[in-house]
Amino acid sequence: MRLKDEFSHTIVIEKSEFICYLKKTFNEPEAREFIESIRKKHRDATHRCTAFICGEANEVQRSNDDGEPSGTAGAPMLDALKKSDITNCTACVVRYFGGIKLGAGGLIRAYSKSVSEALHLAPKVKTAKVQLYKLTFPYDLIGKLDFFLKDQCDILTKEYDVDVIYTLQTENFSFKKELIEFTSGKIPCEFIEEKMIEKEITGD
């Protein structure tokens, strides 16, 4: 599971503002480039703490407390990333001090909460293998076919010419067999290709 897009979320704890920035990053140079962009954007911030995980098996893991007491910022941020099941992700939490000290425990909870809430709210995608097909059929079968397809696939294009032509993608690898059974083989089903896509995850 990965982030869909760059995302940010702000929380306020005891008058301190914590702004968490998240971005999908596939390697350490990408992660550090993103971190540097946030640091430049918030040059006046009290702290700009970071954590990231990347690599084929999340084998690259780094964190930085950026002046906060050791282990109170970067480590809990990294822990929040690992617990989320999100892969290839960088988090940068910008803190503007509000005048009230939080103590070590308070800082750990604040940085962890900042990242955890942002990860929960951010749109996410998963990698899925799909098959693409082209269906060509007469107009009088539109209703019947739409009924069959509604929970089976994503229709990518619809063309209305002499016949109707749908281009679609499906994660159901029994799709062609089920379509033939449903229509008694009356609708030509042309296989186009098989590929990997990123699919948005809906719901909590």
pLDDT for 27-68, tens place per residue? 999 999 999 999 999 999 999 999 999 988 889 999 999 999
Model confidence at 203: pLDDT above 60: no
Q: Domain tally for the chain? A: 2
Rounded-to-10 torsion of CA 92, 98, 102, 108: -10
Length of the chain: 204
Same domain, residue pair 67 and 32: yes
Same domain, residue pair 152 and 190: yes
pLDDT bin (cut points 50, 70, 90) of residue 204 is very low
Model confidence at 117: pLDDT above 80: yes
Same domain, residue pair 135 and 171: yes
**CATH code for position 82:** 3.30.230.30
* DSSP three-state, residue 48: strand
Taking the C-alpha atoms of residue 90 and residue 35, their distance in angstroms, rounded to an integer, is 8
Question: What's this model's pTM, rounded to 2 decimal places?
Answer: 0.76
3-class SS letters over 67-101: CCCCCCCHHHHHHHHHHCCCCCEEEEEEEECCCCC
Domain boundary among 97, 122, 147: 122
Q: Which two tokens stand for residue 137?
A: 């059929």
Show the domain range for 112: 2-122
Same domain, residue pair 41 and 140: no
**CATH code for position 153:** 3.30.70.240
Same domain, residue pair 94 and 154: no
Same domain, residue pair 151 and 172: yes
pLDDT score of 3: 93
Of 41-45, 77-81, 171-175, 200-204, minimum mean pLDDT range: 200-204
Q: What is the mean pLDDT of residues 102-121?
A: 96
Distances (CA, A) of 125 to 21, 86, 128, 199: 17, 10, 9, 5
